[in-house]
Amino acid sequence: MRKKKTSIRKTARDNKRYSDTSIGRWFLRLALWVIYGIFLYQIWLLFHVLYWKHNNPQSTAFMENQLEILRADRADATLHHQWKSYQHISDEIKRAVVAAEDSQFLRHSGFDYDALWHAFQKNLSQGRVTAGGSTISQQLAKNLFLSDNKSFLRKAQEAMVAVMLEQVMSKQRILEIYLNVIEWGNGVFGAEAAAQHYFGRSAADLTPHQAALLAAMIPRPRYYDNNRDSLHLLKKRDILLKRAHSAKIP
């Protein structure tokens, strides 16, 4: 009888051990599949970056998201977007944008650590996120593939794509795509559409004042589209007018 009880206990222990092992193996397989999926997603992203080195993106994840929002209110809504090559975009807007968004654009490899540190200190002192410190490469990564949601995972993916962009593309190509896809108003994307929308002229013909105003709008384009006489916007424009002439562009 005692041997029978011992045998039952042993069988129960063995079953529990086998069950624990099976669960452990299941979680291991799941983890491996997740890692494999993440790896495949990075390859998919890299393929697009390689393709866009020589081919112009017709749309971006951010553009598609904004179009969906616009069509929720108006089914026939469209985006204002027209691609212009680097040579057909005014140097004035190139310098103004670099001065406004990434003064170290030609010097860094995707990340401006001084800007990130200053942004961290500013956010810490104000107790909320008011500064990002993102480079043009990081902003382009977000616009091409990601959402505008703020999360650790999104920032990590943004950093990985920024590295891909910097390794695959030239600085000129990164800036060319950036100027053609970033948001500049309600349904307005790219420098050409912005120049036409605000000034009725081509991006090749922008004056320094016009370029500085557009560059000043980048952080809050939809708001400034509806508040073009904002004192904060005009003040930032004047600051950029003084800085833009010294900005280095590819």
Instruction: For the chain, give the secondary structure using H, E and C.
Output: CHHHHHHHHHHHHHHHHHHHHHHHHHHHHHHHHHHHHHHHHHHHHHHHHHHHCCCCCCCCHHHHHHHHHHHHHCCCCCCEECCCCHHHCCHHHHHHHHHHHCCCCCCCCCCCHHHHHHHHHHHHHHCCCCCCCCCHHHHHHHHHHCCCCCCHHHHHHHHHHHHHHHHHCCHHHHHHHHHHHCEEECCEECHHHHHHHHHCCCHHHCCHHHHHHHHHHCCCHHHHHHCCCCHHHHHHHHHHHHHHCCCCCC
Q: Tell me which CATH code domain 53-244 carries.
A: 1.10.3810.10
| Beta bridge pairs of residue 183 | 189
Residue predicted with more confidence, 72 or 117: 72
C-alpha 116: how far from chain center: 15
Tens of pLDDT, residue by residue over 93-106, are 999 999 999 999 99
pLDDT higher at 18 or 177: 177
Cα angle at 169 between 164 and 172, to 5 degrees? 135
Of 148 and 3, more confident? 148
Looking up tokens 């069509």 gives: 71
Domain boundaries, the chain: 1-52, 53-244
At residue 41, the pLDDT reads: 86
pLDDT at position 20, please?
59
pLDDT at 187 over 70: yes
Residues 6+ apart with CB under 8 A from 56: 83, 177, 180
Q: What is the pLDDT of residues 191-202, one digit of tens each?
A: 999 999 999 999
Is residue 203's pLDDT more than 60?
A: yes
Report residue 242 as tokens. Answer: 């003084």
Residues for the chain: how many in total? 250
Q: pLDDT tens digits for 104-148?
A: 999 998 887 776 667 566 656 665 554 567 899 999 999 999 766
Flag whether pLDDT at 12 surpasses 70.
Answer: no
